[in-house]
Copies of this chain bind each other. A is one copy, B any other.
Amino acid sequence: MDLPAVVINFKAYAQAMGARAVDIARAAERVHDETGVSVVVAPNAVDLVRVREAVDIPVFAQHVDAYQPGAHTGSVLLEMLAEWGIDGTIINHSEHQVNFSWVEYVVHRAHELHLEVIACAADDAIARAVSDLQPNAVAVEPPELIGTDISVSKAKPEIIRRSVELVHAPVLVGAGVKTTEDVKKAVELGAQGVLVASGVTKAKDPYKAIMELAEGIIRALP
C-alpha cells in the first residue's frame, strides 16, 4: 500500500457485508481515483474475493490465523489470501488480539508471500513492541475510543506523538476518527494515515465519509 493512507476496516458490520461491502469498496476506489489519496479496504473474510474482483485499490484481510496450510478447520490463512490476490492483512486488532509469536509468524510468512501486514496496538508502548516484529505499519488505536465520537487526534495527541517517535515503522492511528480535521491533525503529528471503521461503514453516504477523511490527508501534506 502507498502511504499515507486511509485504511477502512469493515469489521462485521451488517452495513458493510455482502453486496454492501462491494459498494463501499467501490466508493473507496472512487475517492482514490478522484484524489490520488491511497485508500485500503479490509472487508470480512467471506467478502474478500468479491471485493478483490470489484476494485483495484489494496484489499486486506482483517485477521489471519498463525498456521501453515494443513489440517485446520475453520481458519483463515495467509496462503488463502495469496490465492486470490489479496494484498495483506491487519493483525492484532483490539477485537482480535493475538500473542507475540502469532504476530511474528504472520509477519514472516506474509513477507515470504509478498503480502503486507498492519499490526494494531492499544497504545504507544505496545506500538513499539509490535513494531519490533517488523510489520509494514503499526496502527495505534486506544480501545476506549474505538467506535466513539471522540477522536484519538483530539483526545490523545500525545499517543500519536510518542508512537511516531518510538516506532520503527509507519504509524497509522485510529479510534473515533471521522472528520477531515481528525485526519489532518493525525498526519500533522506524524502519522502516515488512519485506520477507520464505523465512521465509514455506518455513514449514510460512505463515499462522502471517505472523501472527508481523504481531504484530511491532502490538507496535511504540503
With contacts A44-B80, A73-B94 known, what are 18 further pairs, Cβ within 8 A? A11-B71, A12-B67, A12-B71, A12-B73, A45-B80, A49-B50, A63-B74, A71-B146, A71-B147, A72-B95, A74-B90, A74-B93, A74-B95, A76-B76, A101-B126, A104-B126, A125-B132, A125-B133
Question: Of all chain B residues, which has the CB nearest A74?
Answer: B63
- In the complex, are the beta carbons of B96 and A75 less than 8 A apart? yes
Question: Of all chain B residues, which has the CB nearest A77?
Answer: B12
Chain A positions 185 through 216: 1 when the CB is less than 8 Å from some CB of chain B, otherwise 0: 00000000000011000000000000000000
Bound state CA distance, A173 and B155, in angstroms? 41
Please report A residues at the B interface, Cβ cutoff 8 Å.
9, 11-14, 17-19, 44-50, 61-64, 67, 69-77, 79-81, 83-84, 86, 90, 92-102, 104, 121-123, 125-126, 128-130, 132-134, 146-147, 197-198
Bound state CA distance, A14 and B70, in angstroms? 7
Bound state CA distance, A96 and B99, in angstroms? 10
Question: Of all chain B residues, which has the CB nearest A47?
Answer: B80
User: Taking the nearest CB of chain B, how far is it from the CB of A91, in angstroms?
Assistant: 9
- In the complex, are the beta carbons of B18 and A84 less than 8 A apart? yes
Chain A contact surface mostly? loop
- In the complex, are the beta carbons of B73 and A96 less than 8 A apart? yes
Q: Which residues of B contact A13 (CB under 8 A)?
A: 69-71
Bound state CA distance, A48 and B62, in angstroms? 17
Bound state CA distance, A177 and B123, in angstroms? 36
Question: Of all chain B residues, which has the CB nearest A12?
Answer: B72
Bound state CA distance, A141 and B35, in angstroms? 50
- In the complex, are the beta carbons of A92 and B96 less than 8 A apart? no
Bound state CA distance, A98 and B198, in angstroms? 28
